[in-house]
Structure 1
């Protein structure tokens, strides 16, 4: 279970809350938030039992590693290269014998087109089809230099790659090793590819005039209207959440309109953070290295691909949470506790439980971004989350507890804290400011170094501070580091975009 906590400055009971083995808190100091979370590879409470009363946690709890860690349950990490430039289709060369007979002129380069009405989410993949591109084969594929292009509209093409599922093609960019775009389907009658699956042509004598998908949708809609059915309704996770307060809204349609509007707006802000960060990665800004070093240390080059992968997954997740299946994944809770928002790692539905008392525009976005980075597979979603952990948290108000004399001043305050930690300034006092349960951090250190689990916390901190590679590895798998690194990259990208004209004047 992952939570968002809110309490007043100076509270000494920050660590005396629920069993942290099953929650991911986001702390608020003086009304200003900073999200916190916990790694899933440790022992957890059974989710069917309600949260325990908030009593002090034993400062030296015994640690037991689960028999099967959550890492093994997830899929293999998809490796891809960040989006840079759109693909350009080159002109096939004439044979040497024909050179003397004809004049060869350059074929126009593929150009990025504006969004076509039927293209939808294919706008970033759409290319203008050169006149000399080979004709489509029987499968509807235009094959050129071992690449497959398909027609999505007259004069418009998209590069596609076949996935692990036979016959399934996804839109892709040349810069991607793994296709990340939507699945496309070939329509033999129109000889174009669309986002909608074509209806199979019936065989003579076996005509069945039934749209199964439409029929299923109709039955679900009628059933939901009669019985108000909700995914996971009254399951163990909702039971646990109900111990905190009354469940008053299942799905965004049951929230008051102004609160639903805040959630939708904050989801758009999350998507913007990851999208801008992805653009910054693709542009290879010179200033980006300084951002990488602040969040991942001097060995940031070794984990740059992992960061790019997590950013892409975060963008895709934030988009899907705004889609058809995302509406039902927000549950409103009227709770008297200081919990602002939380989610359960093992909840396959990927729901956010939001305490309606603490919904704030401009604050919820970072919290949502942090939490969704913990996810792996989510039902009805195509995107697979990065399955990030929570080894440590970033809070600029606690920078005085780090072993660093002066913190740098950045547009994103959390970057200064991360910078000190990545330079080897982590302390036991800083970790204790959030929780007394440090199993997540201890297991992360011991697993990376291949040593025993029974490390004293001070020893683990010393090993962390002494090993740049270890720091980079934990940081690039740490939800707080990922979301704030993306936020910092967004700030860099926006500044470059906004003042590009000024840079050009200086260059002149």
Structure 2
């Protein structure tokens, strides 16, 4: 997992691993052999027809006369106008009302109505800050009502989700590093502005996987160069695996934005420099996010990386690629490779990958990012059919000597996959941009 991706810098080749304070070094592991897979809306002016049926005993403040244009026959349930609870927003549904769609919305001339209970509906709008749906009055420019959540089983919307936070106080939550405090379970417990950033970054992740998927399908001639940068000269043998990872990553990224996805994000306060991480063995697929580094534009690549570690996740239909962390692509440690990257790319990690895929990996480079090299060692051993590899240096030598092994391990390495995905997105966007410019020239 990438944590805080630094811009490319020039490094001296005489530095030692101890001189590099890598933001991708692993924190402590709560379980032996299963550490965190990380690196050391405005409304229209029309009014739905409503017969006001207020409680005659209620105290009603004087209001100016208004003109009501009929659309649908509905009646406001008896309420106390001064009480800003869900009751204040309830409506009696008219005889004829649009059917609810798969998301539980009844759409009437661009307005959204939801079923609260039998014979009770409410209008909702999306809160532009938090992204959540709130009950609203037709007169409001911004929704003022409580947050509502769709319950798929009953097809109704409720004040609270019928759920239990899965995995609460389990070994992964209790095994956080000393000095790390869990402060938010689910996006609803994050401050609104932080939850909005996470949701925005999730959309960026989905866009990255989606654009890369289009690039793969269109078979751009330039794609071979991208593949060779990340998977070496034997890239053709692993291209189906990369395509599958992108497809699975896209599906998972959509699920993390769905109903069950909100509870998969946990906020922590820590002195560490890790941006986010997850535990590969966590069936709940939770992502721990360090709020200290939570800002727009800094999280998407890390989230994409983490999603690639997933396999089956409870309540998700998608199955992740189950990628490993054999090695990381860190520009902050490129001086520890056997040669400097020769080409500078829009995605700087691509140049680092090129050196590694040419057999330029070193044990010193690996030591910058982690102390535990068990995944790399097991990856080499598994590929060669060996019981184990005696030491890290031997494993590195074997890796550098075998291009087929390098291709295979890179195609199962989360950092290689997410950075290759990003490069494919850049390729797709450049091709579509040039095509648009060409069309403008032709029109002239």
TM over 0.5: yes
Encode CA deviations 1:444-476: one digit per residue, 9 max, x unaligned: 111101123033222221211111110000000
2:438 and 2:362 map into 1 onto residues whose CA distance is 41
1:213 to 153, 156, 169: 153
2:28 to 18, 37, 45: 18
Residues 234 and 438 from structure 1, CA distance in 2 versus in 1: closer, same or farther, beyond 3 angstroms?
A: closer
Residues 295 and 402 from structure 1, CA distance in 2 versus in 1: closer, same or farther, beyond 3 angstroms?
A: same
Residues 450 and 507 from structure 1, CA distance in 2 versus in 1: closer, same or farther, beyond 3 angstroms?
A: farther
Residues 456 and 244 from structure 1, CA distance in 2 versus in 1: closer, same or farther, beyond 3 angstroms?
A: same
The alpha-carbon deviation at position 239 of structure 1 amounts to: 1.9
Where does 1:247-286 land on structure 2 (aligned, <5 Å)?
247-286=182-221
1:394 has 2:329 as partner:
yes
Q: Secondary structure at the match of 2:418?
A: helix
Q: Which runs of 5+ in 2 are unaligned?
A: 10-17, 41-98, 104-150
1:457 and 1:337 map into 2 onto residues whose CA distance is 27
Residues 386 and 297 from structure 1, CA distance in 2 versus in 1: closer, same or farther, beyond 3 angstroms?
A: same
1:473 has 2:413 as partner:
no
Aligned residue pairs, count? 324
1:323 and 1:442 map into 2 onto residues whose CA distance is 37
1:379 and 1:411 map into 2 onto residues whose CA distance is 36
1:451 to 368, 386, 392: 386
Encode CA deviations 1:129-183: one digit per residue, 9 max, x unaligned: xxxxxxxxxxxxxxxxxxxxxxxxxxxxxxxxxxxxxxxxxxxxxxxxxxxxxxx
Q: Secondary structure at the match of 1:214?
A: coil
Residues 214 and 406 from structure 1, CA distance in 2 versus in 1: closer, same or farther, beyond 3 angstroms?
A: closer
1:377 has 2:312 as partner:
yes
Residues 427 and 212 from structure 1, CA distance in 2 versus in 1: closer, same or farther, beyond 3 angstroms?
A: closer
The alpha-carbon deviation at position 301 of structure 1 amounts to: 0.7
Aligned CA RMSD, in angstroms, stands at 3.2
Where does 1:122-137 land on structure 2 (aligned, <5 Å)?
none
TM-score, structure 2 normalization? 0.66
Q: Does the 8 Å contact 1:267/1:318 carry over to 2? A: yes
The alpha-carbon deviation at position 238 of structure 1 amounts to: 2.2
TM-score, structure 1 normalization? 0.58
Encode CA deviations 1:379-408: one digit per residue, 9 max, x unaligned: 111000000001110012322211125521
Q: Secondary structure at the match of 2:276?
A: strand
1:334 has 2:269 as partner:
yes
Q: Which runs of 5+ in 1 are unaligned?
A: 27-35, 38-116, 122-210
Q: Does the 8 Å contact 1:266/1:364 carry over to 2? A: yes
Residues 349 and 24 from structure 1, CA distance in 2 versus in 1: closer, same or farther, beyond 3 angstroms?
A: closer
